[in-house]
Structure 1
Amino acid sequence: MELSALRIFQAVAEEGSVTQAAARLNRVQSNVSARLAQLEEALGVPLFHRSGRRLLITAEGERLLAYAGRLLTLADEAQAAVRGDQRPAGQLRIGAMETAAAARLPLVLAAFHRRHPEVDLLLETAPTDQLVQAVLNHKLDVALVAAPVLRPELAQLAVFEEELVLLTDAAQGPVRSPRDVARRALLVFRSGCAYRRRLENWFAEADVATTRVSEFGTFEAILGCVAAGMGVALMPKEVLKQRQLGSSIQCHTLPPQTALVQTMLVWRGDVLHHPARHAFAACFDAGISPAA
């Protein structure tokens, strides 16, 4: 298999469309379609299901995509190492938890862009578990996730500590234990969120059953529903400092074992040569933060 064919396959898989992949790669659509068909013929398996104009990747395609990411990353790393190029440039794919992206990243990204304008920054938000898997699968170069990260393949850098607080509406009385909010719904991010696990564990350790769980895709939606009295949520205190919540939401402190959590910057330890990633990590080492 040629690396150029793998790049085309990877682009089509990520875009879900030959047209969009062709635009991304600056190729004509017919060339992308032909190269994709040649690759499928050489492998003897379909890599995509055709559904109108959309392409849905097959199980065989998913397996190839994981290998393609690794092969292309190694090829780029080898090329840069041979050239001796240590200048941050090209694309840097960053993943972050929704709250970290909102509260922690803006100043870091702005400072990084000023220092390294030739790096093309792409940001994706997701829960911790999905971000970790995306880094492992070479879909992200680096990610901000909640500790602990128990994957030996990943290098880690502790970048800051969050204090999580329990959020309720203004009418809620004092909260000393989960029993004080036992009848309230849990307003959480989707499965795979480390903060969600901490909230659920807080209830479980007190032997308090949760009544309902409502999932949301953004922290803004969670804040709105908390203010409306729909339930309780767990969120970093830093997020709330940057928003004018007035008297609509109360913050309740929690025991340190629940409240305090390290945010880690993680990347694949076997990808050694990546100047843009090294420069991004150096921003945190230099102490750039929203409090700076």
Structure 2
Amino acid sequence: MDLSDLRIFLAVAREQSVTRAAQALDRVPSNVTTRIRQLEDHLGQALFMREHKRMTLSDAGRRLEDYAQRLLALADEAEQALRAAGPQGRLRLGSMESTAASRLPLPLARLHARWPAVEIQLRTGTTRFLADAVASHALDCAIVAHPSAQPPGARLDEALGAALEGDYLFTEELLLITPPGNAAPRALATFARGCAYRDRAEQWLRDAGEDPARLQMLELGSYHAILACVMAGSAMAVLPRSVLDLQTLTPPSRVIGPAHCFLIRRKGQDSANYQALLSALRD
């Protein structure tokens, strides 16, 4: 199999459309269609289910997706390892939503100024989602939080998986925020399960004698939406102080504890790009 065929396959899988994949790859749609058909003929398997204008992965396509991500990641790592010109090429970085907003802009600007040939592809998600994505080669590295992992020399493998290791970055101060006034909502606005800050909030509630199962969980996709729910009196929430420091209007809050944040990668998969990013994050 040609690596370019795998890149085309992954683009169609991601976009669920030949037309959108062709635009992303700067190719004509007919070329993308031909390459997908040639790949299916080579493998003797239909890789997509075609429903009107939408293309979704078949069972065989889902199996190939994992291999394709790993093969392309290894190819990128090999290319970077053999180049002598320093950090360059693609670096697929994952980050928690709150970290991307409050802590990433300046380090990424420093990285670009020092190493303009490094292309950052950023994806946000929960700690659990990001750790799984790094382990499965869908991401090269990610910034995650784990309240129980203590720096330095944290045993992240016990918390996030045996395939991962990481470097300590910073400690967030987590705050329980509540609506202005005397509102006492029976709801917690939070990211989806797998969020380390949600886990910390639920543990704090249990320690305080409150059963989290008795609260309504409002799962939201951004810290903007979480803050809006709190300010509207609909819920309480747990967010890092670094996010609240960005706001002009802030709700009442109290400290509930720390969360230590790490840049993680697959074990043994250090690279010039990773080290360049780590340096920019620590400066």
TM (normalized to structure 2)?
Answer: 0.88
In structure 2, distance between residues paired with 1:8 and 1:99: 32
CA contact (8 A) 1:157 1:266 kept: yes
1:53 equivalent to 2:53? Answer yes
Q: Deviations for 1:158-199, whole angstroms, at most 9, x for unmatched residues? A: 1000110100012249xxxxxxx6x62111111211111111
1:156–1:265 CA contact under 8 A, matched in 2: yes
**Residue in structure 2 matched with residue 145 of structure 1 by the alignment:** 144
1:103: how far off? 1.0
Cross-structure match for 1:282? 279
Alignment partner, residue 174 of structure 2: 164
Q: Do 1:74 and 1:271's aligned partners in 2 also have CA atoms closer than 8 Å?
A: no
The change in CA–CA distance for 1:41 and 1:239 in structure 2 (over 3 A counts) is same
Q: Is structure 2 residue 35 aligned with structure 1 residue 35? A: yes
**1:146 Cα shift?**
0.8
Query: For each residue in 1:85-108, what CA deviation from the matched residue of structure 2 results, as whole angstroms up to 9, or x when unmatched?
Result: 342222222111111111111111
1:177 aligns to what?
A: none
Give, as a single letter, the amino acid of the residue that structure 1 aligns with 2:87. P
Counterpart selection for 2:190 from 185, 188, 191: 188
Identity of aligned residues (%): 42
Q: Which amino acid aligns with 1:117?
A: P
Which SS does the other structure have where 2:178 is aligned? strand
What letter corresponds to residue 233 of structure 1 in structure 2?
Answer: A
Segments of 5+ residues of structure 2 without an aligned counterpart are: 150-155
**What secondary structure is seen at the aligned counterpart in 2 of 1:140?**
coil
AA aligned opposite 1:141 = D
Paired with 1:170 and 1:81, the residues of 2 have a C-alpha distance of: 54
1:239 partnered with 2:243? yes
Query: How many Å apart are 1:250 and its aligned residue?
Result: 0.1
How far apart, CA to CA, are the structure 2 residues paired with 1:169 and 1:218?
Answer: 18
Partners of 2:87 and 2:162 in 1: how far apart?
Answer: 26
Over residues 200-251 of structure 1, what are the superposed CA-to-partner deviations in whole Å (9 max), with x where a residue is unaligned? 12223344233311111111111111111112101101111121115xx101
Q: Structure 1 270/86 Cα, relative in aligned 2: closer, same or farther at 3 Å? A: farther
Q: Is the Cα–Cα contact under 8 Å of residues 86 and 275 in structure 1 kept in the other structure?
A: no
> By how many angstroms is 1:55 displaced?
1.3
Look up the match of 2:259: 261
Which whole-Å CA distance do the structure 2 matches of 1:270 and 1:68 have between them? Answer: 20
Distance in 2, matches of 1:270 and 1:196, equals 30
Given the two structures, how large is their TM-score scaled by the length of structure 1? 0.85
Instruction: Determine helix, strand or coil for the equivalent of 1:169.
Output: coil
Structure 2 CA distance for aligned equivalents of residues 56 and 85 of structure 1 = 40
CA RMSD of aligned residues (A): 1.9
Residue 120 and residue 76 in structure 1: after superposition, are their counterparts in 2 closer, same or farther (change >3 A)?
closer
CA pair 228-25 structure 1, distance change in 2 beyond 3 A: closer
Q: In 1, distance between residues paired with 2:208 and 2:60?
A: 45
Rounded to whole Å, the distance in 2 between the matches of 1:236 and 1:88 is 31
CA contact (8 A) 1:153 1:270 kept: no
Distance in 1, Cα, partners of 2:116 & 2:7: 25
Corresponding residue SS for 2:244: helix
Query: Which amino acid is 1:215 matched to?
Result: E
CA distance in 2, matches of 1:18, 1:191: 32
Residue of structure 2 equivalent to 1:8:
8
SS of alignment partner, residue 278 of structure 2: helix
SS of alignment partner, residue 155 of structure 1: strand
> What amino acid does structure 1 have at the position aligned with 2:62?
E
Task: Report the more deviating stretch, 205-214 or 125-134.
Answer: 205-214
- Runs of at least 5 residues in structure 1 that lack an aligned partner in the other structure: 174-180
